[in-house]
Amino acid sequence: MQAYRWLMTAPGAPLMREAFEASTPEPGEVVVQVAGCGVCHTDLGYYFDGVRTNHALPLALGHEISGRVVAAAADAQAWLGVAVIVPAVIPCGTCGPCQRGRPNICRSQKMPGNDIHGGFASHIRVPAKGLCRVDEARLAAAGLALADVSVVADALTTPYQAVSRAGVTPGSLAIVVGAGGVGGYCAQVAGAFGAKVVAIDVDEAKLAALRGRGADLTLDARAQDHKAVKAAISAFAKAQDLPATEWFVFECSGSAAGQLTAFGLLVPGATLSVVGFTLDKVEVRLSNLMAFDARAIGNWGCPPELYPAALDLVLDGKVQVRPFVEHHPLDEINHVFHAVHAHEIKRRAVLIPAN
């Protein structure tokens, strides 16, 4: 099957289009014709910041993929023709951590665009294990295209796992630092779990996009210092009859400034979930965790078992994706990478191959 993909050959070098033959799937594998693949902060990290991919370059990046199964190994024939979301991290399912219920730390996990060729391509070969089936009738009823739900693979499921793992319940106060792609969904998911949500960012346009769509209060961290931000949240909590303790703080900005803001919002019994990634270091008084009997949780990916529930939130209209997504032709990938990096594209860019 004639296919093409865009390869990263070296950090910062123009991505190169390559034609390839989408080979016959190995046992347990399928070939997915890509409907869309979202551009994630992590892709930009590989491309602009020199974060290393596990697979040697050249490599097609992209791990936020939806599409349709167009070829399947003999043991995966049930997937033929099915619309799917490919999990951003695919655990092996058989190793010690997987069997102990810790698939996120599986050492044999496969991440498209990191361990194997990713979704900035017309086709991708992936393990069938963990694929999330998309009900196309419900998708159409929700007014969505298959490409739109590519963002479920990472931008949505990563915060979904963070919110569910942190233990957000109705009546919780959730604070999301960084209202970009992942943070925006984190706010919506926390709201869907019944929390009142405060969103903090340095970009007023991103905050405006979340008002009435996930965030009950938005705060511009550029317009006020840490103390004023915390005081505003305390006043909001009081006015909403929410507790002054046990706040859930989700660091989604993946920036040193955001991490400092998030850490500064610890209160007694707080939960700090680190969802964003940066290579930068921050200086904090770690003992605040001890003094506040608080906890900090890291989050890597999301187990495939949680994908159907996350997708349900979208198909049921509890989480909006369409206002936060914009489509671009895959062949404009070089332009789109630079535009996202320069913050000229505010919504999630989903690259659409010309299939």
Interface with Zn ion by CB under 5 A: which residues? 40, 42, 91-92, 95, 98, 106, 108, 154
Choose among 190, 219, 201: nearest CA to 346. 201
Task: Quote the Cα angle for 37-17-300, to 5°.
Answer: 35
Minimum separation from the CB atom of position 327 to Zn ion (A): 18
For 327, the 3-state DSSP assignment is: strand
Q: Give the integer Cα–Cα distance in Å for 36 and 15.
A: 18
Q: Is the dihedral of CA 207, 208, 214, 219 positive or negative?
A: positive
Minimum separation from the CB atom of position 159 to Zn ion (A): 11
Q: DSSP code of 190?
A: H
Minimum separation from the CB atom of position 158 to Zn ion (A): 7
Q: Return the number of the residue (79 or 185) whose C-beta is nearest Zn ion.
A: 185
Q: Return the number of the residue (271 or 299) whose C-beta is nearest Zn ion.
A: 299
Minimum separation from the CB atom of position 341 to Zn ion (A): 15
Minimum separation from the CB atom of position 156 to Zn ion (A): 11
Q: Give the integer Cα–Cα distance in Å for 226 and 257.
A: 11
Q: Return the number of the residue (70 or 92) whose C-beta is nearest Zn ion.
A: 92
Minimum separation from the CB atom of position 113 to Zn ion (A): 9
Written as six digits, the tokens of 349 are: 């860019």
Q: Return the number of the residue (127 or 191) whose C-beta is nearest Zn ion.
A: 127
Q: Return the number of the residue (25 or 45) whose C-beta is nearest Zn ion.
A: 45
Q: Return the number of the residue (152 or 168) whose C-beta is nearest Zn ion.
A: 152
Task: Quote the Cα angle for 214-216-218, to 5°.
Answer: 95
Minimum separation from the CB atom of position 137 to Zn ion (A): 28
Q: Give the integer Cα–Cα distance in Å for 101 and 96.
A: 9
Q: Is the dihedral of CA 230, 235, 238, 239 positive or negative?
A: negative
Q: Return the number of the residue (46 or 79) whose C-beta is nearest Zn ion.
A: 46
Q: Do 178 and 199 meet the contact criterion of CB atoms below 8 Å apart?
A: no
Written as six digits, the tokens of 207 are: 């905050």
CB atoms within 10 A of CB 311: 24
